[in-house]
Structure 1
Amino acid sequence: MTQMPPPVLAPDVFQRRLLGWFDAHGRHDLPWQHERTPYRVWVSEIMLQQTQVATVIPYFERFMARFPNVLALAGASQDEVLHLWTGLGYYARGRNLHKAARVVVDEHGGEFPVHNLDDMAALPGIGRSTAGAIIAQSTGQRATILDGNVKRSLSRLHAVEGWPGRPAVERRLWALAEHFTPRERLVDYTQAMMDFGATLCRRGRPDCARCPFNDVCLAHERGEERRFPESKPSKALPTRTTLMLLLCDDDGRVLLEQRPPSGLWGGLWGLPQFDDGESLRAWLDARAPGAKLAPSWASFTHVFSHFRLDITPQPARIARLDAVGEAQRWYDPEQPDSIGLAAPVKALLSSLAPFTLTAPAGPEPLHQEYSS
């Protein structure tokens, strides 16, 4: 086995430099920092996965206003939760948040198991690093984190070769993260590690001139800051196509269907989707006889992390259709319901003028979001 090189700094030196930088330049007034309960920290950590702080803040504040504690969240419907998550992306996070709240209430008496890392990590949607962040941030107990910001910072500081998703590379990074984690000021330290990667050791443009580690950073010494961490081996994203049916009645309502509870846009409400025009027309003949098709709208692309979806909206009108199937509902864009909507569906619905089936004025809807 190849022996790993030693860390570039002793833990106490690393901690002193990092916390000195944080005291002067870190973020101290984020909404979830006041007050730091396990519930508030947990919601913020889940929202912050793959999402920037500025985007998260208004979602977090709306979420706290509606669900001020885990009992309120556990007692809510999935529709209510996903409605407040709409537009934040990666919808599995919202579904898992709801599931975890119910586990906390049903199996832990409404209290987060913050004194047991394994129990925290076992909650839906959490895992080892997020569990560590929740424990450290809400209780001050010693717990190690290794989110994307920390991986990037440690990879550059030590010029760690390889994609962090590889088990051997990840083990090396966990060892470094554990090596540097202190036993005091855990709340500040974990926030400092996240802030350092997000605001200074940034992905595209690291600010090496202001970095408290620029004299020991191996990537900086080599002039290879952008090479670390190494990217995941790339492969071309496949493209799929779909027709989305915009079936409107004379009251201006649009027919929606609820997606299955897991998978693409799981649990969200969306437009009926079809692989081709033939299957769409067969569906209308069976479910909405008498519906009349209008010219289709221009196609647009929605980008997921693992494929591209080319969407063609297909408007149709029916005078009235009172009977709808299971997991279907009529939706009035002028008086929207509090339900979770797939992001491109929300964009399409917001572009509808009452009682029209013509394409919306201005540019065709285009929404790109890495979500599931």
Structure 2
Amino acid sequence: MEILHHDVRAHNVMLGINCIVQLTNFETARPQSGGKSWPLKDKDEILRWTAPEKDSSETRYTSECDVFSFGVLLWEIVSQTRPFDKIKNGREVFKKKILIGERPNINMHMKDGHQISVASDNYFKIMTEAWSQEANHRPSMSSICERLRNIFHTNINEDEIEYTENPSKENDITALDPLTQTTTSENILTSNENNVKSKEEILLEKARQYHDAKDYSNAWSIYNNLLESDKGNAEVKFMVGSYLVHGPPYCQNNDIDKAENYLREAADDGYAKAQYLYYQLLFNKAGKYLKLAANQNYTEALYDHGYHLYKGTFERRDPAKGAESLIAAHYQLHNNALGKLNELEKRYAKEKKLKKE
């Protein structure tokens, strides 16, 4: 059920276990489909986060109002202060600032004239779109979430790269020996190279964790981005391909043609899971085209389709339809159709007898 929160601000956001963000205080929330809003206890303060269209009590609260508040919340996260903190009265903030289109200062994040990063640019773009004066200019909440995920996954903090410290060389006599100094330095470099994880490796680990936790939206976002930055990774190709095969809830839409390309590449790279899934795709495709050819009364296709219908190879077993297709092939002078039908009927009768026993 979709709900309208009515009070989206940092005050009502908590960090749970593993820094999972949780929105709290649903006291004023109501279903989006209907019902009246509860009276707000702290209305004057909440007005700092309130959308301008709510200047009239007759205006119905919408999801766009929550989006506006979320835009202000994004500013709070960066600024670590209340919006328009120097103005003590929230009602005054609403009348003198929000209603006339003024918003908190977005340049406060810049220091000494330094340029902000691309990630920050994109972040502030989302923020300013969310708090647009016109409700119909604000992005949907699902769109905002997707864009924020993309910012996170494509701008992972380098501090997350794990380095293994070199063992102390203070008591190692080879470190002081001029004859072994070059070798020692090379060993140190090799040790670093072996212990440093690339951004792609870190992201791939995160994607696996999201997938195992059934958080397919986040997993898909990372796998999709990795496909561009790490094109040679067979596991990434397999995961993108398998998500595209299944569609929701793994990704928004299934796309068998794209999936087939990624799975074929991963299969050719020797990835066993991709080889098996690619085989399944080809198997299903074979059944589809065999049926299409049989529907056009192509003799060889009628024979093969009848045989596989009888056995239940590509679809549910249907001896009656299988027999029809084999007889049609026989009437079109297929040499083996009648013999194959007799063979299958005997085998089918024997199987039925064994089941009864």
Q: TM-score range by the shorter chain?
A: under 0.3
Greater relative contact order, per chain length (Cα 8 Å cut-off, separation 6+): 1
- The structure that is strand-richer by fraction is 1
TM-score by length of 2: 0.23
The structure having more radius of gyration, on CA atoms, is 2
